[in-house]
Amino acid sequence: MVEQSAKAHDVDPLLVHSIIKVESNYNPYAVSSKGAEGLMQLTPGTARMLGVSNSFDPQQNIEAGVKYLKYLQSVYKDDRLALAAYNAGPGAVAKYKQVPPYRETQNYVDQVGKRYSSAKAAADAKQAAAPKPPEPAPSAPEHPKLEQFVDENGRLYLRTTQ
């Protein structure tokens, strides 16, 4: 579900996985002390805004969370600020014009950032270690066909044809 939603919204699935791990530790029934729900910890207001009828439905939760993250990325053009807005709200980022000075938000941005960096490094290492498909053998060069014929004196001649 993560890969499908991430691809649909042009968001790195590794970032989405990092957010889910930090937000809910993949518990679709997680509820925060502030009332955020599900895998991506959508607040009831954000869930309503994004058309979510059941925040505990992993498909709806991930789709809405990824859509919201993409929106924040397009607004801030900086993943750290997008993550801060995801956690503390866009108003807090607008007020401070940086990651707000809230310990929870700063810790959140750092935790997601570290997980994301580690996930990207692991994916890069896995890709580098993967066996490369064999190079296709070079195709034989095209040569004109040879045609042979014998003249009236019995001499053999060769000529090329197209």
With H, G, I as helix, E, B as strand and everything else as coil, classify residue 116: helix
Q: CB 70: neighbour CB atoms within 10 A?
A: 18
Catalytic residue among 3, 23, 142, 152: 23
Answer yes or no: 23 catalytic.
yes
CA distance 76 to 87: 14
CB 144 within 8 A of CB 162: yes
Query: Can you tell me whether residue 109 is helix, strand or coil?
Result: helix
Residue 6 and residue 16 in contact, taking contact as beta carbons nearer than 8 Å:
yes
The alpha-carbon radius of gyration of the chain (Å, integer) is: 29
Amino acid residing at 115: R
Report the catalytic residues.
Answer: 23
